[in-house]
Amino acid sequence: MILKTPFITFEGTDGAGKSTQIALLKEWLVSHGISVVLTREPGGCETAEAIRELVLSNKSDLGSRGELLLYLAARAENVRQVILPALEQGSWVISDRYADSTFAYQGYGRGLELVELMNLNAIATGGIMPMKTILLDIDVAVGKERVMKGRSELDRLEQSSLDFFERVRHGFLKLADTDSNRFVVVHADKSVDEIQQKIRNALTPYLHGHS
Ligand code: Z5A
């Protein structure tokens, strides 16, 4: 399917600063008269938010395959209920995580077969992939430190080992390397403003003709 308006995703390991950057990007786009719909994964609509609770809960005893299918079920609903309708109405859509999180976390992190994940993801999304993906790349220990600040409890995923997050980070970088037209890799150990400027520079070419 050819998308009329930009569908942008943000990816990265924990604490990379996605939510912070997405909020600033939205302000900037709105100041250019662009209608923006934000979503996140897992989540975005009521059904997918219910799946989010289940998949991130410390009480869930999930194996890799059960976890994978829950992320994909949440995505299918996010695409059907939020992403596609917004794109069809001419809004830009920005998603905090999407398909590349599945490839990086369930593929490189958990060791599930990448080609199978890509096929299953295509079933969940009907083949909808982002126009641009901003990968905020950060040292996993630095990201973890940011996430831990002011938190008394970590969720099921956040409790994974540093080794796991290293594999995920490496996975994201490999994905970016093999699809360099779609990915923009931004080093996330800089100041919030410096990172935001790089993101805006990367998206400036899309401002005209897409508002
Ligand atoms: N997951 C999966 O396995 N498979 C899938 O298919 C999908 C997801 C879709 C979702 O967690 C989990 O599900 C996630 C991947 C997995 N797992 N883990 N672990 P989530 O949505 O709850 O969490 P997250 O996406 O990882 O977000 P986050 O870690 O909370 O962080 P963030 O959005 O990237 O960062 P932030 O909230 O903007 O910033 C974090 C802190 O750092 C905050 O205090 C900021 O003020 C601070 N910050 C931000 N930027 C900076 C800079 N530049 N310098 C210093 N401090 C900063």
For residue 110, tell me if it sits in a domain: yes
Distance CA 175, CA 173 (A): 5
For residue 120, tell me if it sits in a domain: yes
Pick the atom of ligand 1 nearest to 75's CA. 9
pLDDT digits (tens, 9 = 90+) for 16-52: 999 999 999 999 999 999 999 999 999 999 999 999 9
- b/e 5-14 (16+ beta carbons within 10 angstroms → b): bbbbbbbbbb
Q: Map tokens 């308006």 to a residue.
A: 5
Range of the domain at 97: 7-188
Distance CA 56, CA 129 (A): 24
Q: What is the 3-state secondary structure (H, E, C) of the chain?
A: CCCCCCEEEEECCCCCCHHHHHHHHHHHHHHCCCCEEEEECCCCCHHHHHHHHHHHCCCCCCCHHHHHHHHHHHHHHHHHHHHHHHHHCCCEEEEECCHHHHHHHHHHHCCCCHHHHHHHHHHHHCCCCCCEEEEEECCHHHHHHHHHCCCCCCCCCCCCCHHHHHHHHHHHHHHHHHCCCCEEEEECCCCHHHHHHHHHHHHHHHCCCCC
For residue 211, tell me if it sits in a domain: no
Instruction: Give the mean pLDDT of the chain.
Output: 94
Mean pLDDT of 119-144: 97
Ligand 1 centroid to Cα of residue 14, in Å, is 4
| Confidence at residue 209, expressed as pLDDT on a 0 to 100 scale | 65
| Confidence at residue 80, expressed as pLDDT on a 0 to 100 scale | 98
Q: For residue 61, with 0-12 CB atoms within 10 Å meaning exposed, 13-18 middle and 19 or more buried, which class applies?
A: exposed
Distance CA 183, CA 8 (A): 10
* In the predicted structure, residue 147 carries a pLDDT above the cut 60: yes
Mean pLDDT of 161-173: 96
* Ligand 1 pocket list (CB less than 6 A): 12, 14-20, 41-42, 71, 96-97, 101-102, 105-106, 146-147, 149, 157-158, 191-192, 195
pLDDT digits (tens, 9 = 90+) for 87-116: 999 999 999 999 999 999 999 999 999 999
For residue 203, tell me if it sits in a domain: no
| Confidence at residue 4, expressed as pLDDT on a 0 to 100 scale | 74
| Confidence at residue 154, expressed as pLDDT on a 0 to 100 scale | 82
| Confidence at residue 211, expressed as pLDDT on a 0 to 100 scale | 42
| Confidence at residue 149, expressed as pLDDT on a 0 to 100 scale | 86
Instruction: Specify the residue with its C-alpha closest to ligand 1, atom 1.
Output: 101
The distance from CA 45 to its chain's CA centroid, rounded to whole angstroms, is 15
Ligand 1 centroid to Cα of residue 17, in Å, is 6
Q: Map tokens 């997050």 to a residue.
A: 165
| Confidence at residue 2, expressed as pLDDT on a 0 to 100 scale | 63
pLDDT digits (tens, 9 = 90+) for 169-211: 999 999 999 999 999 999 999 999 999 999 999 999 999 764 4
For residue 109, tell me if it sits in a domain: yes
For residue 159, tell me if it sits in a domain: yes
Mutation choice for ligand 1 from 10, 19, 164, 197, CB with most ligand atoms inside 8 A: 19
Domain total of the chain? 1
Nearest to 211 by CA among 65, 85, 28: 28
Mutation choice for ligand 1 from 13, 14, 24, CB with most ligand atoms inside 8 A: 14
CATH classification of the domain holding 166 = 3.40.50.300
For residue 184, tell me if it sits in a domain: yes
For residue 29, tell me if it sits in a domain: yes
The pTM of the full predicted model, rounded to 2 decimals, is 0.96
